[in-house]
Amino acid sequence: MWMRVLAKRLFATVFLSVLLASLLSLIPMLEQHGDENSELPVFEPATEKKLSENQLVDFLLSQSLRMQLKRVDWKNEGSLFLELEQTPGMSQEAMYRELFRIVKNCLVETENIQIVRLYVHGANVNDFLLEAGRKQIAGDPQMKNINHWTDKKYLEEMFEITRFSSS
């Protein structure tokens, strides 16, 4: 009789162990079929970052600028002013590509920069001021350049550029 009780308990233990192992093996399969939006990107920020005075230097260094940065002014944590100088030998195309990238990084990758003003001293062009605001990219909020314009044309069409004559 005690053998029968022992056999029942042993069978119940083995049965529960197999059942538990089977259920645990289902967890990875259920996670794979879960909500796609629950995944977090590993190599890029999951959310826009809020730029502060403490992060400003790191943010500017991350831009990998070829142009010379002459002056920075961070006003009211919403307006960023950069004074840049085109390096000798830098083509206009490369300069406008860099300006596009700066504007995009400021307006798309951050949540609190509302306007970017870039004053550019040109080696090959007259000085100009580019004013780019978050409101101006309402039709293209990720700055994907859906019209496939050149960087120069995109900046000229989407934002305000004030050119200064050389004296």
- 24-44 pLDDT, tens digit per residue, is 777 776 666 555 455 555 555
Question: How far apart, in whole angstroms, are the C-alpha atoms of residue 151 and residue 155?
Answer: 6
CB atoms within 10 A of CB 129: 15
- Which letter, b or e, does each residue of 33-42 get, where b requires 16 or more Cβ atoms within 10 Å of its Cβ? eeeeeeeeee
Region 68-86 average pLDDT: 89
Q: What is the pTM of this model?
A: 0.68
Closest CA to 152 of 94, 87, 88: 94
3-state secondary structure of 161: strand
Average pLDDT of the residues of the chain: 84
Residue 80 has pLDDT above 90, yes or no: yes
